[in-house]
Structure 1
Amino acid sequence: MMAGSVAAELCSPGQVAEEAFIGAMFQNLGRMLCEFYFPEEAQQVRSVVAAGRLQGGEESAAVQVLGLGFEDLGAGVARVWGLPESLQRCMRKPMGATPMRSAEQGVERLRWVAMAANEVATTLLHSGDAQTEDRLQQTAARYARTLALSPEAIAEATLRARHKLVSLAQALDLQVAPGSAAARLLTLPTPQADAAVPQDALALLELRAAEPQPLPAVLESQAAGTVSVAQVNEVLAAGIQDITNAMVENFQLNDVLRMILETMFRALGFRRMVFCLREARTDLLTGRFGLGEDSESAVRAMKVPLKTPGDLFAAVCVRGADTLINDATQARMQARLPQWYVQGINAPAFLLLPLQIKGQPFALIYADQSAPGGIVVDDKVLGLLRTLRNQAVMAFRQAG
C-alpha cells in the first residue's frame, strides 16, 4: 500500500496514477504470495538475507530457498491469471543503472515509478532511525532525472503518500505492534519548527481528478417512505442542471454553494447541513453557513483540525473519502468521535463529503439526521451527491 501510494503521488491524477498504484503493488506479488502460501520458506528467505552471506539480496535468497526468484514467481502467476500485458511488464523491475534521462512515457516510465516507489517503501520499512529521511532524499535525487521530477517534488509526493496512509490506517482503526516494521511505515517525520505555513489549497486552483471514491460504509438501498427513490433522484438531477446553468454565466460563489446545499437538503430531508471551509492561518475547517434545525450552533461547533492525528473528521478530509456514519450512537463509534464533535453536535447519523483541490482538503459538506439509520442512500443517489460536491469544487476553481 505504501509503495502504491507513493507511485500514485508521483504521477498526474487520473488513470496513469491508478496504473502506477497497481503496478507498484504488483511488483511485490511474488513476495506476498510466498508470505501467505509458503510462510516457512518466507522465513528462510528473511534469515538468509539477514545473515548477509549471499550476494544479490532478497531475490538471490528466494532463488536459493524456492528455486526461483520472487519476481519470476509473481510474473508467472500474473501470466496464469491473465493479467493485462502492460501490468505484467510493469511487474518486471528495470535492469541496469538508473538512467540519467527521463524515461519514455507509458509502461517504461511506470516501471521506473514503481521501482522508485518500492525503494521508498523499503527504506521506510527497514530503516526506522535518524538516517531515514537522509536515505529518502538520496533516493529522490537518484530518480529525479529518470522521472523528470525535481528531488523536492519526489520528496513532497512521498510525504503526501505517508500522510494518506497514516490517515487511512486511523480511519480504518488498524492496529500495529509498536516497534514493528508496519509501525515504521506509519511513523511521520517530525515537522521542522521553522517550516513555512503551507499555501492555502484554494490558491492552487488546480482540480484533482474527480473519479468517485467508494464509501467506507456499506450503503443500503433507499428505504421506503414518503419520498420515493425516483423523487429523490429527480430533485438531485434538477438541482445539478440548475447549478450547471448558473455556472455558465457570471455567478457568485456563495450563491452556487447555497444552491448545492439546498438541493441536497430538499432531496434527502436532512435535519441540518453545514458547509465548512479551511482557514489557512489555523489549518482548521470551520463552519461558514448552514441549513436546517439549529444550524447556527452547528456552524459554530464545526472546527475540524486537519493536523490533529486520530481525528476521524480530519482523516476523512485528508483521505478525500466520502463517509456515511449511519449509527453514531454505538459505543465503539462514540469512542472514535472527536470531543469537539461530541460536545458541540453529536448527531446520531451523519454524512461527510470532503472537497479537495490538488489532493489537499479545503472544504467539507456535513449533513446529519436526528435518528440512527436516518441517512440511507443507494448508488444512484450517491453518484448524484458526488456530482453536486464536484460542482462545488468546480465553482471554487472558476471563481479563482
Structure 2
Amino acid sequence: MKPPQAQSTNPALDFLLRRLRQRGDFPALSESVVAINRVAASESETVGTLSNLILRDVALTNKLLRLVNSAHYRPASGGQISTVSRAVIVLGFDTVRSIAITILLFEHLPNKTDAEQLREEFLRACLAGLFARELATQLRTRELEQAYICSVLHSLGRLLSQYFFPEESADIRQVMKQHDCHEDVAAQRVLGVSFEELGIGLARSWGFPSLILESMRKLPPSKVHKANTQEERLRVLSACANEHCDALFHLPPAERERAMDAIVSRFAEALPIDAAQVREHMESAIDEAHAFARIIRVDLQQTQLGRHLADYLGNTAPSTTAEEEPGAMPRGVALEQRLSAEPTPAGQKPADAQGVLSAGIQDISNTLVEEFKLNDVLRIILETMYRAMGFKRVLLCVRDARNNTMNGRFGFGPGATELAGQLQFSLAAQPDNVFNVATAKGVDILISDIDDPAIAMRVPDWYRKSVHSRTFVLLPLTIKGKPVAMIYADKERPGAIEISEQELALLRTLRNQAVLAIKQAG
C-alpha cells in the first residue's frame, strides 16, 4: 500500500517529501499510519479491521494494551483489557488510533547518536498532547482525542526534521543562534520550507483530515479570541498546550513562570482558565507522561525533559496512583508482566499461552455483563485465540439457515478476509469429512497433517483446492444439538498446532462463551 502523495505547489516541500520516502524505515512507518487513518476515517470499517491492522505488529499490540490498562485509560469498571478488539470497543476508534500512532512514531525513532535529542522532542510533543486533552476536559468538550493528536502533531515538522535530516536540523539550530531568529525562519533558510509547512505536508500525505491539518498552523502572537468552530477550537488547544510545554522545557524557572502567566493571559478569551488550573492540569499530564514513558521503556527522570518536569513540580516525584501504592500488589499485575515481556513473533505461541487465554476469558466475562454487540464479543474471542495460540489465522463460520450451509464470516490473521470467502460447505451432506463430522456431532477436531494417510480421505477437495494450510483445528458451536457456527484456526506447517489439555480446556471455555453470547443476543 502506497501512502497518498502530498498535493503541494511548493517544490522545496515536494523535494523533502521525496527524500523522506527514500530514507530508512520511513515507508513502513508511513504505510502503517496511512492504513490506520483510512480505517478510522471510514464509516464502513469495523472494530475488526482496526484490530487486525494493529495485531500485525506484535510490539505495537503489547505496548498499546499496556497503555490502555494504565490508570488514565482503564475503564470505570476497573476490569483489565486484554485484546485490541475490546480496547476499541471500550475506548473508541479515536483513542486507539491516537495511542497506536503515538507508539508507532516512537518505535521508529533511530537508535543512533542523535536519538537523544529526538527522544526529547518526542516526549515534549506527547506531554503537549496529554496537556491539551486535560485542557479539553476543562472545557467540557468531546474533542479529547482530537485535541491530543492535534497537539502531538503540532511539532511534527520539527520532529521529523530531527529524525530524517539531523545535519540540516543542526544547521537550523546554528542559524537560530547566529541570527537570533525563530526556528521556522531558520528552517526556511536551510530547508526551503518552515517546520510548520513540512509537518502539514507530511500529515497530509499520511491521510490526516483537514481538521487536524488546520490545527497544526501556529497562531499569531497577538491576543487569541474565542473560537467559534471546531477547527478553531482544536487549533487554539493545540497552540496553547504546545506553548506551555515549550516554556516548561526551554526556559529557566523565573522566566518560565512569567512566560506561562503571559500565555494564560493571551489565551484568556479563548481558554478561560487561570494559572492554578493550568498547574493542576499540567501535573495530571505529567503523571500520565511518566506512565507512558514507563510503557515505552524510557526513564523520564533521566531525560532533560524529566529534569525540567521535576523542577516544575518542586523536585517531587509524580503522584502515586492507587494501583502503584508502595507495598501494594498492582491490579492486573499478571497481565502487565505478560505484556512487558519480549513480544513473541507473529505466528508463534507465547510462553504464557494459558495466561493470555485466561485474561481473554475474563475480558469476555466483563463484556457479557454490559450491553454488547454480538460480533464484538465474537471478535474478542477470536483475537484471544489468535494471540494466545500463535495461529496463522482464526476464523468464525456461521450457519446460513436459508441454504443450510456453514459460511466463513470474519477473523484475524493474514488473508483472513479472503479465507472467509473460501470456507463454505453444506451441512446437508453426510458426515464423511472432518468438517461435517465436527458440525454434525459437535466434536472438536484437530488435524495435524491433512496428508496423513489415516485422515487424508476425510479432508474435502474444496478445502485442498482453496486453502494451503496443512494443519487446522475445528471448534463447532451448537445450541440444542444443532450447529450454529464454527471456529476454524490453522497453521501452514504440518504438526505446527500443539494444544495442551489445559489450553484445550480454556479454548473450550472461550467457545462456550461464544455460545452464551449468541444465546443472549437472541
* TM value normalised by structure 1: 0.47
TM-score, length basis structure 2: 0.37
- Structure with higher Rg: it is 2
